[in-house]
Amino acid sequence: MKFDTPATNNPIDQLKVVGRPLDRIDGPLKTTGQAPYAYERHDAVRNQAYGFILGSAIAKGRIDAMDTAAARKAPGVLAIVTTLDMPRLEKGPMNTASLFGGPEIQHYHQAIAVVVAESFEQARDAAAAIRVEYVRQPGRFDLAAEAPKAKLVPGDSGEGSGAPPEERVGDFEGAFATAAVKLDATYTTPDESHAMMEPHATIAAWEGDKLTIWTSNQMIAWGKRDLAKTLGIPAENVRLDSPYVGGGFGGKLFLRADAVLAALGAKAARRPVKLTLTRPLVANNTTHRPATIQRIRLGAGRDGKLTAIAHESISGDLEGGQPETAVSQTKLLYAGANRLTSLRLAVLDLPEGNAMRAPGEAPGLMALEVAMDEMAESLGMDPVEFRILNDTQVDPEDSERRFSQRQLVECLRLGAERFGWSRRSATPGQRREGRWMVGMGVAAGFRNNLLMKSAARVRLDGQGVVTVETDMTDIGTGSYTIIAQTAAEMMGVELGQVRVRLGDSSFPASAGSGGQWGANNSTAGVYAACMTLREAVARKLGFNSAEAEFVDGQVRSGNRSVPLGEAAGADGMAAEDQIEYGDLAKRYQQSTFAGHFVEVGVDAATGETRVRRMLAVCAAGRILNPKSARSQVIGAMTMGVGAALMEELAVDKRHGFFVNHDLAGYEVPVHADIPHQEVIFLDEVDPISSPMKAKGVGELGLCGVGAAIANAAYNATGIRVRDYPITLDKMIARLPELA
């Protein structure tokens, strides 16, 4: 099905099942521990051996020799594969660093060997017995030091965020020079780790030259393609199965070392092999969100209208890598005739930087939306009103191109009202509650909506049970449930009559889970397959397919009514189709919007910032399931608290690695850090996005939260911290004297 004209009325608009806050259908399995994750597939294949991955102990250089004699003799050892056993493996287009092979080391904890043994304890012990002779080379590990050498590059997160090396509209320099009110400030964001709860894990089994992996991956079709390429085998010989993913946040978008080394280990041991990255390998062996240095210049007239906007970002990555696209949203968020964005990339020898939830916008808005707060204060304007004044309903770089829907103003207005924004003091440091200095902050949230081809197969059996098969993944997002809701709505059955099977590369290829594109596209693919199935059913019954109604488990036309199961017959029926898109995304800018409101207390004695209240008002098209969508938003808000107040991969600039590579050193929010969170979805349908009229929401909830927290901390204290995270050491020396 090609979607190239805006949606009109369709069966989804009945909203009998779609749009309802239903419990997740995978809930009983997840809450009882019965949902099987990758490392737990004891049932998948017999005789599994255990693999253990050894990571490089240097950041840059090469390996001269590896002595595996003692390890090979260790009890239980079945096979050892080292990186010296083969040349550097090919890599797929998504990977920057090599995943295995060859003597050259590109980053710390790059995989250099896998040990396969009868037990986990034996594999781990033997891996520790491998002696490695390294030749270390000096590396570039300090972004600030390398920043002056950073080159202008184009950026594309692959997740809906991107910008050319330099983009100019009007005359930024001229307008900025003559602006009545100006801001020129630099903000930094640190390297961050996805820190999903389930470390990357894979079970690999060969049957002749065919390979099956049970793994934890967000993008099944990419994984299949890239594993085949990396191993040099035909893609049709590779199968991935990933029905449950214990969190990803972008860290499992791409093929990683667990899959490659499980496959190589299984080949060498002639046994199925299961392995997982140990927690300390996750931060340095896999990808991370790169640190940024962002300079923002804003110029406005006394009336508060922006006349000049510049946002320039520098980040680092390995040779051949990508910049963090932190300026992307600045091209679209506010009006202003004279504009400049630029992206610069420094070469660093740290582990690979790549997509983490809302790449580009998450760190970009942490800078831009603080700059807007600073500018509002300079103008003597309320920060909500300042944003509203500078709203735009068209692409600021192309005034002919409208947003399909843009309710940022409504998000801000409703949020201000519900949050009690009028009680905020415009002068910082005015509100004191015991030891707490209390303040409120606001920020706009912005994230694009991406359209991706997505396919599904729908089966109907003689009992009227509908089964959906697609390689879509559920990474906690609620895919199982919204796909079931979609199929139930389309086929006119109860939710309980629908089965959903996900994550298997033998199913039709979906959009996958990334860039908040999963929900809208994967359900639109199911919509397409259901439409095809409806036509086939109607045709089989001799009904006019345009008139056939699918209601209450029946197919009706005129005065005829046939139960769905009977229509399908004993052999059942199946249909496969996909959604693909025309040029609506070019003709209209499709984005999602939020107003984030936060209240914090800053401890007057220690400078510790605690979040007291949070509200997000979101405009993101039709909300397919308000319960699971709300969870996406509160989860993202929680990650925003981490980004604002605690998360930072500490770089060892001499040895070139992230020091705090575990969940004690890399602090993420815990229960005690998170108050009750409020989310409001504006009533919106977007017929330009897809037949579902939905858009993404999973990343929107993160976009802008960090800035709202930073702005609240400023409002509480009068202290502006421009380098994240806002930890107490950056506050304490500037706090007012205790009374």
Partner 1 sequence: MESSSHLSLTRRALVAAAAATAGATTPEGADAQPASAGNSSTDAGTPAMTSVSLRVNGELRSLELDTRTTLLDALREHLQLTGSKKGCDHGQCGACTVMVDGRRVYSCLTLAVMHEGDEVTTIEGLGQPETLHPMQAAFVKHDGYQCGYCTPGQICASVAMLEEIKAGVPSHVTADLMASPQLTAEEIRERMSGNICRCGAYSNIVEAITEVAGRQA
- Positions annotated as catalytic residues are 699
CA–CA distance, 584 with 65 (Å, rounded to integer) = 56
Footprint of partner 1 on 215-244 (CB under 8 A): 244
Report 194-213 residues binding partner 1 (CB under 8 A): 194-199
If the CB atoms of residues 31 and 463 are measured against partner 1, the closer one turns out to be 31
Nearer to partner 1 by C-beta: 61 or 383?
A: 61
Work out whether 56 is an interface residue with partner 1 (CB under 8 A).
yes
Question: What CA dihedral angle connects 405, 407, 408 and 414, to 10 degrees?
Answer: -160
**Residue in 256, 255, 252 with CA at minimum distance from that of residue 222:** 255
Token pair of 483, please?
Answer: 């796909």
User: Looking at residue 659, what DSSP letter applies?
Assistant: S
512-551 binders of partner 1 (CB under 8 A): none
Member of 130, 163, 273, 487 binding partner 1 (CB under 8 A) = 130
Q: Which pairing describes strands 306-317 and 338-347: parallel, antiparallel, or unpaired?
A: parallel
The token pair at 666 is: 């890399």
Q: Which of residues 269-328 bind partner 1 (CB under 8 A)?
A: 276, 278-281
Per CB under 8 A, which of residues 475..494 are in contact with partner 1?
475-478
Site string for partner 1, 669-698 (x = CB under 8 A): xxxx-xxxx---------------------
Report the C-alpha gap between 417 and 412 in whole angstroms. Answer: 9
Count interface residues toward partner 1 (CB under 8 A): 103
**Minimum distance of partner 1 from residue 113's CB (angstroms):** 9
Stretch that binds partner 1, among 180-188, 224-232, 328-336, 626-634 (CB under 8 A): 626-634
Region 132-151 residues binding partner 1, contact defined as CB under 8 A: 132-138
- The residue (of 438 and 719) whose beta carbon lies closer to partner 1 is 438
- Beta carbons of 269 and 49 less than 8 angstroms apart: yes
For partner 1, which residue of 1, 44, 94, 129 counts as binding (CB under 8 A)? Answer: 129
Which amino acid is present at 250?
A: G
CB of 119 vs partner 1, minimal distance in Å: 6
Taking CB under 8 A as the criterion, the residue among 447, 661, 693, 722 binding partner 1 is 661
How far is the C-alpha of 647 from the C-alpha of 633, rounded, in Å? Answer: 19
Q: Give the position of tokens 């930890």.
A: 727
Contact between 35 and partner 1 per CB under 8 A:
yes
Looking only at residues 60 through 119 of this chain, which bind partner 1 when binding is defined by CB under 8 A?
Answer: 61, 64, 70-71, 73-76, 108-109, 119
Shortest spacing between CB 702 and partner 1, in angstroms:
10
Buried b (16+ CB within 10 A) or exposed e, 683-715: ebbbbbbbbbbbbbbbbbbbbbbbbbbbbbbbb
First vs last C-alpha separation in the chain: 69
Q: Report CA-CA distances (Å) from 338 to 175, 300, 368.
A: 7, 11, 16
Q: What is the DSSP string of 168-187?
A: EES-HHHHHHH-SEEEEEEE
Give whichever of 323 and 656 is closer to partner 1, judged by the CB atom: 656
Residue environment code for 269-289, b if the CB has 16+ CB neighbours within 10 A, otherwise e: bebbbbbbbbebbbbbbbbbb
Q: Is 668 in the site for partner 1 (CB under 8 A)?
A: yes
Residue where the block lists tokens 């320099």: 173
What is the closest distance, in whole angstroms, from the C-beta atom of residue 121 to partner 1 in the complex? Answer: 4
Q: For partner 1, which stretch binds (CB under 8 A), given 227-235, 333-341, 459-467, 663-671?
A: 663-671
Which residue of 638, 689, 690, 711 would you call a contact of partner 1, by CB under 8 A? 638
Residue type at position 423: R
Q: Which stretch binds partner 1 (CB under 8 A): 55-63, 348-356, 538-546, 548-556?
A: 55-63
Residue number, 343 or 641, with CB nearest to partner 1: 641
Q: Are residues 108 and 352 in contact, defined by beta-carbon separation less than 8 angstroms?
A: no
Task: Show the binding pattern over residues 412-451: x = contacts partner 1 (CB under 8 A), - = does not.
Answer: ----------------------------------------
CB atoms within 10 A of CB 623: 26
